């Protein structure tokens, strides 16, 4: 039987406001699964013409798959969000790139023709489930010197990246971090972040009821002088601080993906079209370099050059990791194409959820910049990996729908 492959489009994405992990955070006593359920319900609410029964797969990522982040979360969240019992679901773990992998996995299923519509996302409640909770690393990893012990501590891998690229100074990282805070504050002031956010009702035994409507981690007004005073917890006289790295956060994301034909037939909006993606492995001791070879591989797949990319959404796990990417590709530290709304240093990085935040923001930026044809979402991944996804802007004058081509 002949098989027809489908183009895949990103319809819409949402997220909860991101909170600070810990007893004082906004989600301290809110369940992780409830956060992602809220996102799924919001996606369905925003597309009232979409019959929930047409959602044929739900993939939800979590790095620490335990407790309220366990139990085949994609399936359980789908049921609790009100999707039919006929809708399957599953969980994913690729550490920080969990939601990114949820997108590429389900997109591959759509492209293959296994189904037409899927929901992908991620959640991380780092206050309730710190990264690494309950894990038992095989002692061979260290005993047989497969990796340096620093590979298992993400902050130490960032210090290793500083060692490898001494031009990536603490001063440059602090300046980049301040830029992230300033850009996020400007985006909030311009109303560019709020459309992505799903308000979440919270309850705390001591604080009572609340409503999360904005990100908790940002520190607007931060200066390089402020950051220069911070401690370097991963190494004496080091360069990585709480100010030039993403914090420990709670939050969830979800997005709606569809074949381009299904989106057209159902009248769903098209935020962007998937071009290609790539995941690679790198030395675990310098996991932050991962987005570089991942991007090179994706560009090669697409037949594109870095100069073809007009917008970049790079996850800011650590400033040094983003700067390593920018240096490699000859991009200035303050290039306005990079993270126009700010990044994880300001917004927060609830591990497995962050990939869809990058994509949702890129989709919004595409609508603002019809002159940009291609954009990139990329991130480093723990234990030595990188991921990159290239997208095409449907608002660009050279964009041609695969559906209209078929009709022609």
Do the Cβ atoms of 200 and 123 come closer than 8 Å? no
3-state DSSP percent of the chain in helix, strand and coil, to 5: 40, 20, 40
**Of the candidates 362, 377, 382, which has an alpha carbon nearest to the alpha carbon of residue 289?**
382
Do the Cβ atoms of 377 and 391 come closer than 8 Å? yes
- Give the span between the Cα atoms of 194 and 176, in whole angstroms: 23
- Active-site positions read 96, 349, 380
What six digits make up the tokens of 378? 């990329």
Do the Cβ atoms of 305 and 317 come closer than 8 Å? no
Do the Cβ atoms of 215 and 18 come closer than 8 Å? yes
The SS3 assignment for 263 reads helix
What six digits make up the tokens of 312? 């970049």
Do the Cβ atoms of 226 and 304 come closer than 8 Å? no
Which residues are CB-contacts of 160 (< 8 A; sequence separation ≥ 6)? 150, 285, 286
**Of the candidates 360, 315, 318, 319, which has an alpha carbon nearest to the alpha carbon of residue 339?**
315
The tally of CA atoms less than 13 A away on the side-chain side of residue 23 is 2
The SS3 assignment for 318 reads strand
Q: Could you identify the residue written with the tokens 């290239």? A: 390
H/E stretch holding 26 reads none
What six digits make up the tokens of 136? 């038992």
The tally of CA atoms less than 13 A away on the side-chain side of residue 85 is 0
Burial of 286 (0-12, 13-18, 19+ CB in 10 A): buried
Do the Cβ atoms of 314 and 327 come closer than 8 Å? no
- Nearest-5° Cα angle at 281, 238 to 66: 80
What six digits make up the tokens of 294? 């991942």
Which residues are CB-contacts of 303 (< 8 A; sequence separation ≥ 6)? none
């Amino acid at each position: 039987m002949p098989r027809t492959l489908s183009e895949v489009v990103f319809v819409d994405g949402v997220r909860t406001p991101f909170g600070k992990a810990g007893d004082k955070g906004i989600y301290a006593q809110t369940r992780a699964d409830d956060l992602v359920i809220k996102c799924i319900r919001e996606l369905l609410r925003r597309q009232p013409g979409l019959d929930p029964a047409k959602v044929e797969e739900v993939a939800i990522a979590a790095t620490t798959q335990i407790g309220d982040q366990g139990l085949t979360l994609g399936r359980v969240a789908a049921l609790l969000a009100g999707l039919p019992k006929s809708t399957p679901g599953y969980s994913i773990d690729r550490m920080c790139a969990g939601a990114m992998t949820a997108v590429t996995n389900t997109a591959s299923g759509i492209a293959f023709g296994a189904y037409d519509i899927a929901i992908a996302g991620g959640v991380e409640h780092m206050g309730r489930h710190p990264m690494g909770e309950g894990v038992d690393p095989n002692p061979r990893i260290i005993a047989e010197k497969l990796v340096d012990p620093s590979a298992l501590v993400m902050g130490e891998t960032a210090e290793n990246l500083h060692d490898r690229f001494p031009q990536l100074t603490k001063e440059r990282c602090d300046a980049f971090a301040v830029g992230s805070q300033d850009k996020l504050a400007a985006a909030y002031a311009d109303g560019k972040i709020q459309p992505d956010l799903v308000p979440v009702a919270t309850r705390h035994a001591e604080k009572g009821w609340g409503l999360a409507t904005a990100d908790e981690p940002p520190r607007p007004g931060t200066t390089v002088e402020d950051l220069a005073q911070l401690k370097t917890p991963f190494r004496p006289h080091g360069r990585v601080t709480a100010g030039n790295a993403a914090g420990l956060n709670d939050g969830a994301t979800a997005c709606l993906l569809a074949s381009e034909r299904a989106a057209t037939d159902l009248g769903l909006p098209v935020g962007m079209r998937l071009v290609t993606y790539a995941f690679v492995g790198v030395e675990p001791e310098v996991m932050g370099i991962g987005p570089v070879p991942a991007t090179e591989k994706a560009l090669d797949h697409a037949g594109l050059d870095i100069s073809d990319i007009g917008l970049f959404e790079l996850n800011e796990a650590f400033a040094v990791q983003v700067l390593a990417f920018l240096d490699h590709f000859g991009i200035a530290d303050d290039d306005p194409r990079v993270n126009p709304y700010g990044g994880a240093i300001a917004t927060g990085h609830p591990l497995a959820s962050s990939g869809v935040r990058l994509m949702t923001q890129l989709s919004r930026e595409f609508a603002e910049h019809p002159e940009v044809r291609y954009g990139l979402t990329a991130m480093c991944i723990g234990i030595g990996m990188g991921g990159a996804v290239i997208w095409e802007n449907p608002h660009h004058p050279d964009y041609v729908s695969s559906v209209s081509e078929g009709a022609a």
